[in-house]
C-alpha cells in the first residue's frame, strides 16, 4: 500500500494520495490550496492515475484544489451533501479572519463535473482500496472521516488507516466556532465515531503529525473528558 502525504498552502493542510502501490490508480484526499502541484509530483513519481477525490469537509483549506485536480485527471469528487454547497461557495464556511485574508483576490470556485454524495457507513471501493465513511459532524455539518484497511503484509501492528480531516488531531480536536460548527455535536461525534475504534488504527489528520487512536485515547484531553 502506498500513502503519500504533504502539507499544502498557507494553512498547512495535509493532502494525501493513497494507492495499492506504484503504477496504479489512486485516490486523493483533501487537496487544499496549492495542493495541485504536490499531487502532480506524487502522481508523476509513482506513476499513478487519480480516479477519485475524497473531501473530509467543505472548508476552503481542504477543498480549494478539488475542481482543478478533478478536472486534470477526470476524477470523481466525493463529499457529504451537508457540505456540498461549499464546493461552489466556500465563503459560507469561512471565519472572518480567513475572509479578510482572501479579500481582494480574484478567486472563482465551482463544482467539478462529477460530484457524488457520501453517506454514513457507506463503503467506497475506489482504486482497489476500500474506504468506510463515518459521518462525524461538529466541525462542519458534513464532516466525515475515511477508514481503509492496512495490509497485514505491510504491518501486523496496524489494522486500519483513518483520514480524520479536522475531526481530531494529535492532542486536539477541530474548532467548532465556524459557520456550521457545533461543540456538543462534535463531542457526540468523537464519542460515537472515535472512541469505539481499535487502538492500533493510525490517524492521518487534516493538520499536523500522524497519531493513533490508542495514543489519543490515552493522552488527548478532549477524548479523556468523554
Q: CA 178: distance to chain centroid? A: 17
Angle between helices 66-73 and 36-46 (to 10 degrees): 30
Residue 134 lies in domain = 2-224
Which range, of 12-16, 61-65, 149-153, averages the lowest pLDDT? 149-153
More confident residue, 111 or 95: 111
pLDDT digits (tens, 9 = 90+) for 41-64: 999 999 999 999 999 999 999 999
Q: What is the mean predicted confidence (pLDDT) over 139-150?
A: 96
Into how many domains does the chain fold?
Answer: 1
Identify the residue with better confidence: 139 or 90. 139
Instruction: Give the pLDDT of residue 107.
Output: 73
Q: Long-range contacts for 175-180 (Cβ within 8 Å, ≥24 apart)?
A: 175/139, 176/138, 176/139, 177/95, 178/59, 178/93, 178/94, 178/95, 178/139, 178/140, 179/92, 179/93, 179/94, 180/82, 180/83, 180/93, 180/140, 180/141, 180/142
For the residues 194-211, what does the mean pLDDT come to?
Answer: 96
> What is residue 156's predicted lDDT score, i.e. its pLDDT?
77
The CATH number linked to 83 is 3.60.15.10
Considering only residues 163 and 153, tell me which one the structure prediction assigns the higher pLDDT: 163
Of the pLDDT bands very low, low, confident and very high (cuts 50, 70, 90), residue 104 is: low
Residue 145 has pLDDT above 90, yes or no: yes
What's the confidence (pLDDT) of residue 26?
Answer: 98
The answer to whether the beta carbons of residues 82 and 141 sit under 8 Å apart is yes
Q: pLDDT at position 105, please?
A: 61
Average pLDDT score, the chain: 93
pLDDT band of residue 99 (cuts 50, 70, 90) is: low
What is the pLDDT confidence band of residue 224, given thresholds at 50, 70 and 90? confident
Higher per-residue confidence, 46 vs 96: 46
Q: Do strands 76-79 and 115-117 pair parallel, antiparallel, or not at all (unpaired)?
A: parallel
Q: What pLDDT shows up at residue 96? A: 64
The predicted model scores a pTM of 0.93
Kindly indicate the confidence band of residue 151, based on its pLDDT and cuts at 50, 70 and 90.
Answer: confident
Confidence of residue 225 (pLDDT cuts 50, 70, 90): confident
pLDDT value of residue 73: 97
Amino acid at each position: 500500500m502506498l500513502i503519500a502525504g504533504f502539507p499544502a498552502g498557507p494553512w498547512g493542510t495535509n493532502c494525501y494520495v493513497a494507492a495499492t502501490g506504484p503504477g496504479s490508480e489512486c485516490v486523493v484526499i483533501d487537496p487544499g490550496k496549492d495542493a495541485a502541484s504536490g499531487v502532480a509530483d506524487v502522481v508523476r513519481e509513482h506513476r499513478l492515475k487519480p480516479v477519485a477525490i475524497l473531501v473530509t469537509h467543505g472548508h476552503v483549506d481542504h477543498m480549494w484544489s478539488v475542481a482543478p485536480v478533478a478536472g486534470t485527471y477526470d476524477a470523481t469528487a466525493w463529499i457529504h451533501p451537508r457540505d456540498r454547497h461549499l464546493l461552489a461557495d466556500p465563503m459560507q464556511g469561512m471565519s472572518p479572519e480567513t475572509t479578510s485574508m482572501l479579500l481582494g483576490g480574484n478567486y472563482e470556485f465551482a463544482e467539478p463535473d462529477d460530484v457524488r454524495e457520501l453517506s454514513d457507513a457507506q463503503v467506497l471501493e475506489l482504486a482497489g482500496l476500500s474506504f468506510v465513511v463515518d459521518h462525524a459532524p461538529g466541525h462542519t455539518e458534513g464532516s466525515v472521516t475515511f477508514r481503509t484497511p492496512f495490509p497485514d503484509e505491510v504491518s501486523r501492528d496496524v489494522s486500519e488507516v483513518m483520514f480524520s480531516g479536522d475531526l481530531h488531531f494529535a492532542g486536539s480536536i477541530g474548532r467548532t466556532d465556524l459557520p456550521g460548527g457545533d461543540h456538543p455535536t462534535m463531542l457526540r461525534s468523537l464519542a460515537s465515531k472515535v472512541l469505539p475504534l481499535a487502538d492500533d488504527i493510525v490517524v492521518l489528520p487534516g493538520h499536523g503529525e500522524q497519531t493513533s487512536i490508542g495514543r489519543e485515547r490515552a493522552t488527548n484531553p478532549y477524548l479523556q473528558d468523554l
